Amino acid sequence: MTSKPTPVHDFETRQIHAGAIVDSQVGARIGPVYQTAGYLFSSFDDAEARFAGTTAANVYSRSDNPTNAAAARRLADLEGGVAGVLVGSGQAAIAATLFALASQGDHILATANLYEGTRQMFQGSLARQGLVVEYVPESASDEEWASKVTERTRAIYTETIPNPKNTVVDLERLAGVAHRAGVPLVVDSTVATPYLCRPLEWGADIVIHSTSKWLAGHGSVIGGAVIDGGRFDWAANAERFPQLTESPRPGVGSFVERFGASAFSVYLRSVIVLEYGPTVPPTSTFLLLHGVETLSVRMDRHVANAQVVAEWLDAHPAVAGVDYPGLPSNPYHERAKKYLPKGAGSIVSFDLAGGRPAARRFIDALSLISNMTHIGDVRTLALHTGSTIHGRLTEEERLDAGITPGLIRLSIGLESARDIIGDLEQALQRATEE
């Protein structure tokens, strides 16, 4: 008797079904919330085997939980990776990934244009713990990137669409740079989501998400995810990654020897997450799973609304400039067509000609649009980043990062585009009043 071949389903189907749990006892179609700290061992030998990692059964919910595992499998499937690990936030996902790759005194190369919260972590907590992050302009030549690589370099780090400036990154080129240097390319793809761009298909090795944003989609949970592409050759670069390629103790094989393509994700979950404990509650993951089920439908609406809003803002006399790669005039438009063929995301940033005073009047006049520090919500959100996210920078540092006094970041939601524009129009009218 031959078994049925496993069908290859489309993205829209996999976002609903991939990695799902059907409860074996009561047959509940929706995966349960496994709200438990620990799991019963059937015997002395079973407990020993679980702690040794020779069985996939759960040990403790600090690092293992069936609800979280189901979501990790689904996100890995959507990204095209071999495995995923869920953690408590997007920031935790970044920190855990770099802790898994690097040790004190090691070196990370990063594109200069990153989300400011990430830069603050790199320059603050991670620097105090001995990780050195060096910034290189994304536009730098391959030769310039190569010249920055040292024997202590452990990764190149970037974002698919860095917000708020939306400078779309050339992932394929950076992957080549990273692999020639013998290190993985790590990509935060939160703003793109796997629906708009899958960095692993362009050569990236590890993908990070803040699942709090579009993946969950409703502004109700905090979480993060790390997806392992499973293709980086750790053994060929063993001197850089002994934690993966050398035996952790006598009589035990290395993570690469024991887990092959999943070596990184197993190490991340069973060592870094277990020891640091950035656990995401399964109740939050339950909501994440419900959000992912409608990701494609929501993203289509997000990007359609964003395109309409960006075009409208681009023609408004009170607006000095719009940062949105979906506009033909944007310097990243052609690159966006390559990497983001379904749409350039739903972050639209614009610069008010009247500077900070106009920005203050604009923000305070908003009615439908929410003034808050979040993105990826079904609701449209606005933020003056210069006084909030970038508020710790000097004026010169803000200008170097492209954060002008009148810059407003919008996260375009799912409301009627007409109603979004209506609120923008009345707020822009107030912004121009002296």
- pLDDT number for residue 5: 59
Gap between the Cα atoms of 302 and 376, Å rounded: 9
- pLDDT number for residue 1: 44
Whole-Å CA distances, 10 to 15, 16, 291, 308: 9, 10, 18, 28
Q: Does one domain contain both 126 and 83? A: yes
Complete DSSP assignment for 105-165: T-EEEEES---HHHHHHHHTHHHHTT-EEEEE-TTS-HHHHHHH--TTEEEEEEESS-TTT
Q: Does one domain contain both 174 and 35? A: yes
pTM beyond 0.75: the answer is yes
Q: Does one domain contain both 188 and 261? A: yes
**Size of the chain, expressed as the number of residues it contains:** 434
Q: Does one domain contain both 319 and 251? A: no
AA identity, residue 411: S
Q: Structural domain tally of the chain? A: 2
- pLDDT number for residue 257: 96
- pLDDT number for residue 3: 55
Domain assignment present for 153: yes
Q: Does one domain contain both 83 and 113? A: yes
10-residue mean pLDDT profile of the chain (434 residues): values are: 66 92 79 91 92 83 92 97 97 98 97 94 95 95 97 98 95 98 98 98 98 97 98 97 95 94 96 94 96 98 98 97 97 97 97 95 97 96 94 89 94 98 97 85
For residue 152, the domain's CATH number is: 3.40.640.10
Last residue of a domain, one of 273, 292, 311: 292
Taking 3-state DSSP, the helix, strand and coil percentages for the chain, each rounded to the nearest 5, stand at: 40, 15, 45
- pLDDT number for residue 22: 79
The first and second tokens of residue 400, run together, are 């170097």
Q: Does one domain contain both 300 and 287? A: no
CB atoms inside a 10 Å sphere around CB 52: 9
For residue 389, the domain's CATH number is: 3.90.1150.10
Residues of the domain holding 154: 11-292
Q: Does one domain contain both 258 and 303? A: no
Q: Does one domain contain both 255 and 369? A: no
- pLDDT number for residue 6: 62
